[in-house]
Chain A
Amino acid sequence: MARTGTQWRTRPNLPLTHYVDPRVYTDRSIFEEEREKILEKTWAIVCHESEAPNAYDFRRCQHMSGKELLVVRGKDMKIRVFYNQCPHRGNVLAYEPSGNARRITCIFHLWSFDTKGNCVEITREKEGFQDRLSRKDVGLREVRSETDMGGFVWVNVDDDCGPLDAFLGDSTEFLRGELTAAPLEIMCYHKAIVPTNYKLWHDTNRDLYHEFLHRQNRLIAMGQPGYLDRRYHLHVHGHVTADPSVNSYENIEKGSGVERRMGWPGGESALHKLCNLFPTVTYNMRPPALRIDTMVPLGPEETIVEFRGLGVKGDSPEERRERLRDYNSFWGPFGRNLPEDFIAIVGQSIGLNHGRGSPYILHGREEETPHSEVCIRHYFAEWSRMMGRTAADPFGELPAVAAE
């Protein structure tokens, strides 16, 4: 039965945990608070170590907090991460996305830094600063980083944060075989700037109910025996995994680039494993390739989504070509899966109409299958904890219900 305006706006008869106020996805003040309370306090991947494979390589990256970063591999082969910012007058140090440099020299007044972040030259130092300021006072700002879980460079811009493994807990345990059997290597990278909230992308990554959207998923996964017998597993800090799906490529069109069955060291070729890490990272292991999603939220309704395709270091050219071909046929910018997700979340954003559209977003499915929306509820439980707000009532407008 179609509903009147009043009925349309009436909240569902479900617990507050089971739906979200749309302003959580669109409100500027909530977004700024998320930056401060979540994005600047949490670990996230900024790149893979193979993006700076050699001594003196650097990679310019953005952290989800919005901070401009410079990932540098030193002469000692250790990776360090700094703000990509000159301590003199704040110019960015690296303009190009990646490169190799023994010294990092700011183009503006030619101050130079080594790969450990020490300032090694201030042009006309004595003449300008006499003894009032010296090189040791103007080193680069180094941030907490750890290279782990498959060689990814993780960054937390909060100096006082706990270690990465405490943050991850046991959430990545079921991928340990795939991530440790052989070193990984970046195969491809692309990004998109999408007019949507970052949480909508992450919701979609978590949510296996949306596999109905994808023809390829319907063909390789949804009809397989045992598909619905899988469960979500909830981990610390809002992370979630699902039992792997067993993919069969029998039904996929021959010659489409995805019919092959190449595997992955330390894993089974038919198993597709998803690991979603609060607030922005997804590991998507579908042999023969690993996909990693990361995000840089630019505003409540603007997000950079980055995609990395990983293969195995030491792949032969033929193996690499096949991994890449399979990856791109699903997940490249010309793939058959990824553009569909984008259409749906951009469509959601149109529907949200800057918070004035849909009165609430439902995450209310409860079932012991991968179509339960507990995966998203678990995210918002962590979100609510860190924000000190209820996602269904972020501005405390429901005193009667909240008091219950």
Chain B
Amino acid sequence: MTTTGTATREPRGEPTGSGFESLAEREKAVRELVARTCLTMDAYDFAGYLDLCHPDFRYTITTYSPELRKDITWLDHDFAGMETLLEVLPLHASDHFLRLVMSRHLGVYTVAYSENDTRAAVVSGLQVFNTARDGGVTELLAVAKYHDVVALEGGEAKLLVREVRLDTRMLGETGSLIPF
């Protein structure tokens, strides 16, 4: 197998309808986008996170409550709401500014493209860990899935919809001011 030249870029194929050079490039962009949303949030790089989001972004955190036998929505924001929230978070007292560092561990499970190639539905497994600033012990904070829709336009991938579907409903000792 050659390791240099264009032969490694298969399947090259035709440019995609959403403006990517190839299916492989498109797949890479989708997976990287989802990963970058975690990396930017882990770094409290809120501006960087918002750069990854589509102007029609919709973000929700939901779960099923066996106590009430129904779905609950714990956070629900459009782009402007998310922008405002992320702007004011540092003005609040939060365990994640004082005591803990949050890290998101992600595994992309499935990626499914719409027929016209402009949307990708991505399901990922998510674990969120807290690491204490003092001493560095790590604890699992939450297990969840991301149900994302990624918009593919002009060779660019942007996060259009994110539903954080929580399995964990008891979120540490204090809850979490910072969204997942």
Q: Which residues of A contact B (CB under 8 A)?
A: 51, 59, 96-99, 186-195, 213, 215, 253-257, 321, 324-325, 328-329, 332-336, 338-340, 342-344, 346
How many inter-chain contacts with C-beta < 8 Å in the A-B complex?
120
Known: A334-B177, A339-B177, A342-B174. A215 touches B88 (CB 8 A): yes
CB nearest to A191 among chain B residues? B170
A194 touches B68 (CB 8 A): no
- Whether the Cβ atoms of A334 and B68 lie closer than 8 Å is no
Tell me if B153 is interfacial: C-beta within 8 Å of chain A. no
A256 with B81: CB separation less than 8 A: yes
Shortest CB distance A151–B (Å): 15
B95 in contact with A256 (CB, 8 Å):
no
Residues from chain B with a CB closer than 8 A to the CB of A189 are 65, 67-68, 72
Q: Pick from B72, B75, B92, B174 the residue with the most CB of A within 10 Å.
A: B174
Give 11 CB contacts A-B under 8 Å. Answer: A97-B66, A188-B74, A192-B170, A194-B173, A215-B92, A334-B74, A334-B175, A339-B94, A339-B175, A340-B92, A343-B93
Q: Pick the residue among A187, A321, A324, A333 that contacts B176 (CB under 8 A).
A: A333
Chain B residue at minimal CB-CB distance from A196: B173
Closest to A194 in B: B173
Given A256-B81, A324-B73, A343-B95, A336 contacting B177 (CB threshold 8 A): yes
Interface residues of B in 132-180 (CB under 8 A from A): 169-177, 179
B75 CB to nearest A CB, Å: 5
Which chain A residue has the least Cβ–Cβ distance from B85?
A: A256
Question: Given the complex, which residues of B lie within 8 Å of A324, measured CB to CB?
Answer: 72-73, 76
- B63 and chain A: residue at smallest CB distance: A190
Alpha-carbon gap, A333 to B98, bound state (A): 18
Mask of B53-91 contacts with A, CB within 8 angstroms, 1/0: 000000001000111110011111110110111011101
Complex contacts, B69 vs chain A, CB 8 Å: 98-99
- A255–B171 CA distance with the chains assembled, in angstroms: 25
A213 to B69, CA, bound (A): 34
How far is it, in angstroms, between the C-alpha of A343 and the C-alpha of B98 when the chains are bound? Answer: 9
Q: Flag if A215 contacts B91 (CB, 8 Å).
A: yes
In the complex, residue of chain B having the shortest beta-carbon distance to the beta carbon of A190: B169
* B49 CB to nearest chain A CB (Å): 16
Q: A349 to chain B: closest CB distance in Å?
A: 10
Query: Are the CB atoms of B93 and A255 closer together than 8 Å?
Result: no
Contact partner, A59, options B67, B72, B95, Cβ 8 Å: B67
> In the complex, which residue of chain B has the Cβ closest to the Cβ of A100?
B69
A339 to B74, CA, bound (A): 14
Question: From residue B68, how far is it (CB to closest CB) to chain A in Å?
Answer: 6
Which of B61, B67, B73, B175 is A338 in contact with, Cβ under 8 Å?
B175
For the complex, give the distance between the alpha carbons of A334 and B86 in Å.
12
Q: Of B66, B95, B177, which contacts A96 at CB under 8 A?
A: B66
A192 in contact with B91 given A334-B61, A334-B75, A343-B98 (CB within 8 Å): no
Whether A346 and B75, one on each chain, are in contact in the complex, defined by CB atoms closer than 8 angstroms, is no
The complex places the Cα of A192 from the Cα of B95 at a distance, in Å, of 15
A51 and B174 contact, CB distance less than 8 A: no
Please tell me which one of the listed residues A188, A253, A335, A346 contacts residue B65 in the complex, with CB atoms under 8 A apart. Answer: A188
Query: Which A residues touch B176, using CB under 8 A?
Result: 333-334, 339
CB distance from A360 to the nearest CB of B (A): 25
**Further contacts, 14 of them, CB under 8 A, given A256-B84, A333-B74:** A96-B66, A98-B66, A98-B67, A188-B72, A195-B173, A215-B92, A253-B87, A255-B84, A324-B73, A333-B169, A333-B175, A334-B74, A336-B177, A342-B95
A325 close to B76 (CB less than 8 A): yes
Q: CB-CB < 8 A to A188: which residues of B?
A: 65, 68, 72, 74
